[in-house]
Structure 1
Amino acid sequence: MIPEMTNMNRALGRIDEILQRCVPWMEKRASGTQRFVDVLDEAVKKAGTPAERSIDGLRRLAGRCAEDYNIDEELIRAVIQVESGWNPEAVSAKGARGLMQLMPGTADMLGVEDPFDPEQNIEGGVKYLSGLTDKYNGDIEKALAAYNAGPNRVDAGRIPEAASRYVRNVMALYRRYREED
């Protein structure tokens, strides 16, 4: 075999290894093969453009989700600010992930496959907060406490001080954002 072809075969083999380990979310085409450039294109699409990951792009996304679930955009912006500071890669000490800091079990319940994907995370978080707002008959403070500490604690009347502080912080930002707009 020609030495250049041997090196090429090694490089292609290594690319296949990388694809199998690093891109499990990609399904192989029906033929069982996939071109490396196609995988890169898909990875770029999944990551989103820099504009979509900008604060303005994330705010537009939050606004769209807020409208879809009939909840104030300013409230969603306040929750995201307090939860993650608009960092899509944020992970809390307790394991909450993404912009709206979804716990793994909550993300699963909401159908969020990738909590670090801003669109999935914000949509899941807004859907959850909207459901909690409905559950507590429009009482935003109770919904926020349940979002932070869990509905079982709120229902049992055991809201931790950290959750009360969280509610105060979100509500202060929410009021400020409403005054700005």
Structure 2
Amino acid sequence: MRPNLSGVSRVMGRIEEIERKIRPQKDEDVLDKKKDRFVDVLETAEEKERKLPEKEKKTRHPVVPGIVSPVRTMSGGWEDHIAPLAAKYGVEEALVRAVIRMESGGQTMAVSPKGAMGLMQLMPETAGMLGVDDPFDPVQNLEGGIKYLSQLSDKYQGDLVKALAAYNAGPGRVDSYGGVPPFAETQRYVKNVLSMYRKNSGSDD
């Protein structure tokens, strides 16, 4: 005689029904916990930011719009090449550091929406003109960018404002306007680089 399993089937069916009702709630609980943990992380990060000394907040590199690269900070071995390359091309080290910070924040693989690449954000045609084969090689990029700054400084007879404006907007636009072009981005760029340069060189009280 076969055992009567109808009662067992009903019990199992009831258990499954209960589990179906409970499972979504468990999933929601897990999601809520994940959300809580994420919020905690954000709050912790914001709290750390608030506790940073004002001086450190000011010297942190600005966010560069359009950067699509892994973060590589200003602590790479390439920094050792800044001083000798700056001396080679007659450009102040403090100025080079200010341009790097403004251009890429020290990210060696930085790429802008316009296609500028590397530490000193060289455009492909500029990189080629300067003999830079690999714009993402930090030392090549450094030498190319520093050489370009030197060339611009010579072109504008040491006028740093015009040289920086040309580095950002191109010498053609600077020549066309007879100075800093009336572009908000370029005007902001020149102002910020000069400010960082003065801090780096110790000439800003």
Mapped partners of 2:193, 2:74: distance in 1: 22
Equivalent AA in structure 1 for residue 149 of structure 2? L
Q: Any conservation in 1 of the 2:122–2:135 contact (CA below 8 Å)? A: yes
Structure 2: gaps (5+ residues):
1-72
Q: Give the superposition deviation at 1:128.
A: 0.4
Please tell me whether residue 120 in structure 1 is matched to residue 140 in structure 2: yes
* 1:117–1:56 CA distance, 2 compared to 1 (3 A): closer
* 1:56–1:88 CA distance, 2 compared to 1 (3 A): closer
Q: Give the superposition deviation at 1:174.
A: 0.2
Residue of structure 2 in register with 1:99 after alignment = 119
Please tell me whether residue 177 in structure 1 is matched to residue 200 in structure 2: yes
Q: Give the superposition deviation at 1:169.
A: 0.6
**Pick from 159, 178, 186: which aligns with 1:163?**
186
Mapped partners of 1:54, 1:171: distance in 2: 19
Equivalent AA in structure 2 for residue 170 of structure 1? V
SS in structure 1 opposite 2:202?
Answer: helix
Moved over 4 A (4+): none
Q: Give the superposition deviation at 1:56.
A: 5.6
User: Matches of residues 29-178 of structure 1 in structure 2 within 5 Å?
Assistant: 55=75, 57-157=77-177, 159=181, 160-178=183-201
Q: Any conservation in 2 of the 1:74–1:178 contact (CA below 8 Å)? A: yes
Q: Give the superposition deviation at 1:63.
A: 1.2
Structure 1: gaps (5+ residues):
1-52
Name the stretch that deviates more: 120-129 or 156-165: 156-165
Mapped partners of 1:138, 1:177: distance in 2: 19
Q: Any conservation in 1 of the 2:86–2:93 contact (CA below 8 Å)? A: yes
Aligned residues: 128
Equivalent AA in structure 1 for residue 107 of structure 2? N
Q: Any conservation in 1 of the 2:100–2:106 contact (CA below 8 Å)? A: yes
Residue of structure 2 in register with 1:46 after alignment = none
TM-score w.r.t. length of structure 1 = 0.68
SS in structure 2 opposite 1:55?
Answer: coil
Q: Any conservation in 1 of the 2:74–2:105 contact (CA below 8 Å)? A: no
Larger Rg: 2
Percent identity, please.
55
Note the aligned Cα RMSD (angstroms).
1.6
Residue of structure 2 in register with 1:31 after alignment = none
TM-score w.r.t. length of structure 2 = 0.60
SS in structure 2 opposite 1:144?
Answer: helix
* 1:54–1:174 CA distance, 2 compared to 1 (3 A): closer
Mapped partners of 1:60, 1:177: distance in 2: 16
